[in-house]
């Protein structure tokens, strides 16, 4: 009897875990893809800068997240109804990648950028 109660409890707990995970939403970065934030540098920042350039912002693509990148990104976020926090999480990553980088057809944007900026896909 105790064995059956424990088994039922485990099955219920497993079902709850699956339900919570599926209801948690789709806005998540792939495992290992960090958010792009101020004062960072590297490929993720360069991809964000390139997307912002495609979106019409006249910033340098130097891979360094400074004040110009922050100003352009927060303006982009405001104009796209996103939280204007200057952080590229999955929602901002989607807007940048699927709205500007992927349509560009560039090899770097198509191959490297989805691995270094978070998106929901």
Is pTM beyond 0.85? Reply is: no
Position 3 confidence tier, pLDDT thresholds 50, 70, 90: low
Domain range summary for the chain, segments of one domain joined by + = 26-116
CA 93 from centroid of its chain's CA atoms = 4
Report the pLDDT value the prediction gives residue 18, as an integer from 0 to 100.
36
**C-alpha to C-alpha distance for 117 and 52, rounded to whole angstroms:** 13
**C-alpha to C-alpha distance for 38 and 56, rounded to whole angstroms:** 20
Does residue 108 have a pLDDT over 50?
yes
Report the pLDDT value the prediction gives residue 24, as an integer from 0 to 100.
39
Cβ distance 91 to 25 under 8 Å? no
CATH of domain 26-116: 1.10.101.10
pLDDT digits (tens, 9 = 90+) for 12-63: 444 434 333 333 334 444 556 899 999 999 999 999 999 999 999 999 999 9
Does residue 8 have a pLDDT over 80?
no
pLDDT digits (tens, 9 = 90+) for 74-99: 999 999 999 999 999 999 999 999 99
């Amino acid at each position: 009897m105790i064995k059956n109660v424990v088994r039922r409890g485990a099955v219920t707990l497993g079902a709850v875990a699956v339900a919570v995970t599926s209801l948690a939403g789709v806005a998540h970065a792939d495992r290992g893809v960090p958010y792009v934030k101020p004062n960072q540098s590297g490929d993720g920042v360069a991809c964000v800068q390139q997307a912002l350039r495609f979106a019409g912002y006249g910033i340098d693509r130097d891979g360094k997240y400074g004040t110009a990148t922050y100003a352009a990104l927060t303006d982009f976020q405001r104009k796209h109804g996103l939280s204007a926090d200057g952080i590229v999480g999955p929602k901002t990553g989607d807007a940048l990648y699927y709205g500007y980088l992927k349509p560009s057809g560039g090899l770097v944007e198509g191959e490297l950028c989805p691995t270094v900026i978070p998106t929901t896909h």
